[in-house]
Amino acid sequence: MLLFCPRVDGFICFLSKQKMWWKLLVVMSLYPIELFYASIQDEQYFQIGSFKKPIGIDGGLIASFLYPLSHAELVRLPALFVEIDHVKVPYCIKYITVTGAKTIIQLDLIQSKTEAYALRNLPLFLPIVLKPKWIKATLPYSLVDGLVEEVVLGQLGTIQAVYCLRDQYMMAVNHHEKELLIPYCKPFLVDVNAVQKKVIVQLPEGYLEAML
């Protein structure tokens, strides 16, 4: 389990709990809080997901996201906006816990399960200025320039772009100087290595010929 704990000096500590000891792994800077002040002034936001339900007794909330978010970007957030009665209300983030596929956010002013319950199912927003960087850093957009291999055919080419068509991500692969579109979803996806930027796919029979 990783715990991401923002500090007031603008940096974030990555901690790993091993044998009941907290070990410092790395320190990185948070996004400037001024971006959030400006967002309030300009009323410019974009939705990233929503809270689902409280967890534990200290006011933690499970968050669900619209994008397959990069943890490295997620934990750089000093704050977020919760939409309450059509108003974007800013909350400072105390810490974020990521356990497997579950993300738990603890807000500074929410200290009990009862207080957290009032925020269940409410939408979450960020300043609009973060959208290009935020989306670019998330999967599958972060795979651009990565390699695509097919389980039988071998190397197909590199990912030149990622499109979102009717809520479906499509990888645009440069296959022998032609654009080959491959859905970023099962059953096409076999394995995704975000670190090495490598995607292994399995194409249906005749797919390659039909798409080129």
What proportion of the chain, given as a percentage, has pLDDT over 70? Answer: 80
Helix (H) or strand (E) holding 96: strand 87-99
Q: Where are the alpha helices (DSSP H) in 1-147?
A: 34-42, 71-74, 113-117, 131-136
Query: Peptide bond preceding 140: is omega within 30 degrees of 0, i.e. cis?
Result: yes
Q: Are residues 101 and 171 in the same domain?
A: no
Give me the number of domains the chain comprises.
2
Q: Is residue 60 part of a domain?
A: yes
- Confidence class of residue 61 from pLDDT cuts 50, 70 and 90? very high
- Confidence class of residue 25 from pLDDT cuts 50, 70 and 90? very low
Residue where a domain terminates, one of 86, 120, 136: 136
Hey, what amino acid is at 98? V
Q: Are residues 54 and 105 in the same domain?
A: yes
Residue where a domain terminates, one of 86, 119, 136: 136
Q: Is residue 149 part of a domain?
A: yes
Q: Is residue 74 part of a domain?
A: yes
Question: In the prediction, which pLDDT does 68 show?
Answer: 64
> DSSP assignment of 4-17, as one string?
EEE-TTSEEEEEEE
Q: Are residues 65 and 147 in the same domain?
A: no
Residue where a domain terminates, one of 83, 104, 136: 136
Nearest to 73 by CA among 135, 128, 117: 135
Q: Is the pTM of this model over 0.85?
A: no
Looking at residues 74-83, what average pLDDT do you find? 89
Question: In the prediction, which pLDDT does 64 show?
Answer: 87
Q: Are residues 106 and 184 in the same domain?
A: no
Q: Is residue 13 part of a domain?
A: no
Q: Is residue 118 part of a domain?
A: yes
Contact between residue 31 and residue 73 where contact means Cβ atoms under 8 Å apart: no
Q: Is residue 111 part of a domain?
A: yes
Q: Are residues 132 and 205 in the same domain?
A: no
pLDDT at 99 over 60: yes
Q: Are residues 160 and 129 in the same domain?
A: no
Q: Is residue 3 part of a domain?
A: no
Q: Are residues 180 and 131 in the same domain?
A: no
Contact between residue 146 and residue 199 where contact means Cβ atoms under 8 Å apart: yes
* Domain residue limits at 113: 30-136
Question: In the prediction, which pLDDT does 166 show?
Answer: 63
Q: Is residue 196 part of a domain?
A: yes
Mean pLDDT of the chain: 82
- Confidence class of residue 137 from pLDDT cuts 50, 70 and 90? low
Question: Which 8-state DSSP code applies to residue 143?
Answer: G
